[in-house]
Amino acid sequence: MSQQIVTSLLNCKVEINSLNSDGLTPLDITLLDQTQSRNQEIEDMLCSAGALEATSLPIMANCTNVLRTDQRLNEAAQVGNVDALYELIWEDAYLLDQIDRVPFVDTPLHIAASMGHVNFALEIMRLKPSFARKQNQYGFIPLHLALQNSHTQMVLRLIDVDINLVRVQGREGVTPLHYGNVDLLYKFLAACPKSILQVTIRKETALHVAAKNNKLEVLKVMLGWLRYVNKDDIINRKDDEGNILLHISISRKSTVHNFGGQEDSSLATVEIADYLKRGLIWRQKVLLFFYRSSLSITDENRNALLVVAILITTATFQAALTPPQDLWGNNSNNTDFATNVAATGINNNRTVIQDSQHDPLS
C-alpha cells in the first residue's frame, strides 16, 4: 500500500526534497528505518526520482536551521533568558543581523518589552540598537508595546538608553506621549521636550488626543509643561478637521473637579475650556524664570526644577478652578503642604502627578 501511495505522489510531481520540521527529506526518513521492514523498493523509487538526503541540500538545510534558531531565540525572549541568547549567538553569529534585515518584524526586543523582561531587553538593545526603532507587523516599536502592557520600569530603562525613543512614531504617527500615561508624562517631557510638538497622521498633538479621550490629569500636566516652557501657542494647533484644543474641550463638555471642599460637600466643576481662556500672567513669569534657569544647570538639577515647575502649574490649574477666597483656599496650611510635596517629588524622583493625588488642591 505504501509503495502505491508513493508511486502516485511521484507521478503528481510532489516536492521530493521537501524538509520537515526535523530537517529531514523523504529519503532521510527511508534511510533511518533500520528495521527489516525497510522498503528497498521505495528507496530506489525515490532515488530514481531525484531524491536527496538533507546533507546534500546545504542551502535548504541552513535555512531550516535559521528558522529553528529564530524560534528558540523568541522562546528565550519570552522568558528573558540571557544565557540562552548567547548560546544561540554562539551557534550563529549572524542571527540578529538576519532578523534585522526583515523590515517589519517582532524582534526579540519587541517580545521582551511586551513581557517585561528588562535585563534581556537591555542586552538585546545593546547588541542591536536598531531593534528599538523597528516597527513590527502592526506598526509598534518595543517602547509602544511596553506602554500597552503597563511595564513602567521597562519604559523608563529603554528611555534611559535612548531618550529619543520618546519621539519615535509608530502606527498612525502615534508617539509614546500620545498614549497619555499620566505617571510617565514628566519623564517623557523631561527626556525629550520636543516630543509635545509631534502629531499623528490626523495632525493631533498629544493634547488633542488627551482632550478627545477626556484625560483631564494628562491635560493638566501637559498644559503646565507648556506654560513652563512658555509655549502656550501649541494649544492653538489645529488637527486635520481644523479643531484646536478649545473646540474639542467644548464639544466634549470636558470638566475638571475641584476637591478642595469638605468630603461631603458637592463638587465644583469648571470646563477645561474656561481654563484655556484665562491668562495667569504672574505665574507664567515665574515659570519662564524656571525655564531660563534650567538652561544653565545639569540634567539632574533640571529634572528636579521641572518637578517644582509642574507642581506650580498644576496648582495654578486648580487655583483657576477655585472660587476667589485667598491664594491657597480656606486651609492656610496648604502652602506648606505643597512645598513638602515638591521636596518629596525631588527626593524620591517621582512625578508630581503621583504626589498630587494626596494634595488637597487636587
For residues 158 and 252, membership in a common domain is answered with no
Q: Quickly state the pLDDT bin for 306 (edges 50, 70, 90).
A: low
Among 46-55, 176-185, 300-309, 320-329, the range of highest mean pLDDT: 176-185
Is 57 in a helix, a strand, or coil?
A: coil
pLDDT of residue 220: 85
Beta-ladder partners of 255 = 271
Domain that holds residue 244: 184-362
Residue type, 67: L
- The residue assigned the cell 508511486 is 7
Specify burial of residue 170 (Cβ count, 10 A radius: 0-12, 13-18, 19+): buried
- Looking at the fold, whether 205 and 332 belong to one and the same domain comes out as yes
Backbone angles phi, psi at 95, to 5 degrees: -55, -50
How does residue 302 score in pLDDT terms, banded at 50, 70 and 90? low
Q: What average pLDDT score do residues 133-141 get?
A: 95
The beta-strand segments (E) located in the chain are 255-258, 268-271
Name the band, by pLDDT with cuts 50, 70 and 90, for residue 219.
Answer: confident
* pLDDT at res. 281: 45
Distances in Å between the Cα of 211 and the Cα atoms of 178, 222, 274, 279 are 11, 11, 14, 20
Burial class (CB in 10 A: 0-12, 13-18, 19+), 288: middle
Identify the bridge partners of residue 88 per DSSP, sorted by sequence position.
none
Q: Residues 351, 260: one domain?
A: yes
Rg of the chain (C-alpha set): 30
Q: What is the pLDDT of residues 151-167, one digit of tens each?
A: 999 999 999 999 999 99
Last residue of a domain, one of 122, 148, 175: 175
Going by C-alpha positions, the residue among 3, 75, 85, 79 that lies closest to residue 38 is 3
Same domain, 32 and 101: no
Residue 269, beta-bridge partner list: 257
Q: Read out DSSP for 97-155? A: HHHHTSSS---HHHHHHHHT-HHHHHHHHHH-GGGGG---TTS--HHHHHHHTT-HHHH
Q: Looking at the predicted structure, is the pLDDT value of residue 91 above 80? A: yes
Q: What is the pLDDT of residue 89?
A: 94
Which residues is 271 bridged to in the sheet? 255
| Same domain flag for 97 and 14 | no
Q: 172-198 pLDDT, tens per residue?
A: 999 999 998 888 988 898 888 888 889
Mean pLDDT of all residues in 301-329: 52
DSSP H stretches of helix in 229-280: 245-252, 272-276
Question: CA 10, CA 21: separation in Å to the nearest integer?
Answer: 21
d(CA 114, CA 109): 8
What is the arithmetic mean of pLDDT over 8-34?
A: 72
Q: Return the CATH number at 157.
A: 1.25.40.20
Spatial separation of the C-alpha atoms in residues 220 and 216, rounded to whole Å: 6
Last residue of a domain, one of 131, 157, 175: 175
Mean pLDDT of the chain: 72
User: Do 327 and 284 fall into the same domain?
Assistant: yes
> Picking from 103-112, 151-160, 231-240, 335-344, which range would have the lowest pLDDT averaged per residue?
335-344
Residue 114 corresponds to which amino acid?
A: S
Is the pLDDT score of 321 beyond 50?
A: no
**Is the same domain home to 320 and 255?**
yes
Q: Output the pTM of the full model.
A: 0.57
Tell me, yes or no, whether 266 and 348 share the same domain: yes
Q: State the number of CA atoms in the 13 A half-sphere of 119 facing the CB.
A: 7
The confidence score (pLDDT) of residue 216 equals 84
